[in-house]
Chain A
């Protein structure tokens, strides 16, 4: 089951530069997308989300872009900081009722180098 794919298992970026994490999905029914950050031995921490009626959502240093025709979303972190080093998961859901199970990608390990 590869409905949500993160093709880059790892990414290294210099402090202060932009980090771009990518995610692709195959299920056209997905209409809500989220990014989570995860440190070792902790649960996923919600970062930012976007619904399918938008193509961009911004929150401080984090911006998520959605390209529905390409079934692609990306998370931009500007400027990157060493504390951003973590595993980033893309997740997607379908609006069926109100309890929306999340389908996760496999994650991208981001390392921000000082």
Chain B
């Protein structure tokens, strides 16, 4: 069964450093998402991406964040200068985006980001 994969599973970084979290969405999916879950809190939407551009973004997704689909398979989330409060599980998701249908989003296993 196709699945979303994410690397690395755990990333430890120093405050102020740049990190790139990587995702490989399901191959025929057209819509890509990043969510995060701070320990003990809800899963929160960060950004959605379609047709090589951002479709929606939340207030969390400020200028320190960026997303990219550098090739036909990878989808990345970059945090330019990490803060302590960026420590969280980051989930990538994808959906097939069939027109006229409501689409389930399929999630990857997550990357645990720890900012020291």
User: Which residues of A are in contact with B by a Cβ distance under 8 Å?
Assistant: 32, 34, 36, 41-46, 49, 51, 89, 91, 93, 95-107
Given contacts A42-B110, A101-B33, contact A106 B42 (CB under 8 A): yes
Interchain CB contact under 8 A, B55 and A97: yes
Is B75 at the interface (CB under 8 A from chain A)?
A: no
Is B43 at the interface (CB under 8 A from chain A)?
A: yes
Interface residues on B, range: 20 to 34
B86 to chain A, nearest CB (A): 19
A82 to chain B, nearest CB (A): 22
Given contacts A98-B31, A105-B42, contact A44 B50 (CB under 8 A): no
Q: Which of A34, A43, A105 contacts B104 (CB 8 A)?
A: A34
Q: Which of B6, B56, B108 contacts A101 (CB 8 A)?
A: B56
Interchain CB contact under 8 A, A51 and B102: yes
Is B14 at the interface (CB under 8 A from chain A)?
A: no
Secondary structure type dominating chain B contacts: strand
Secondary structure type dominating chain A contacts: loop
CB neighbours (8 Å) of B56 from chain A are 96-97, 99, 101
Given contacts A95-B102, A97-B55, contact A103 B45 (CB under 8 A): yes
User: Which residues of B are in contact with A by a Cβ distance under 8 Å?
Assistant: 4, 6, 31, 33, 35, 41-45, 48-50, 55-56, 58, 91, 93, 97, 99, 102-110
Q: Which of A36, A49, A89, A104 contacts B102 (CB 8 A)?
A: A49
CB neighbours (8 Å) of B48 from chain A are 99-101
Interchain CB contact under 8 A, A45 and B42: no
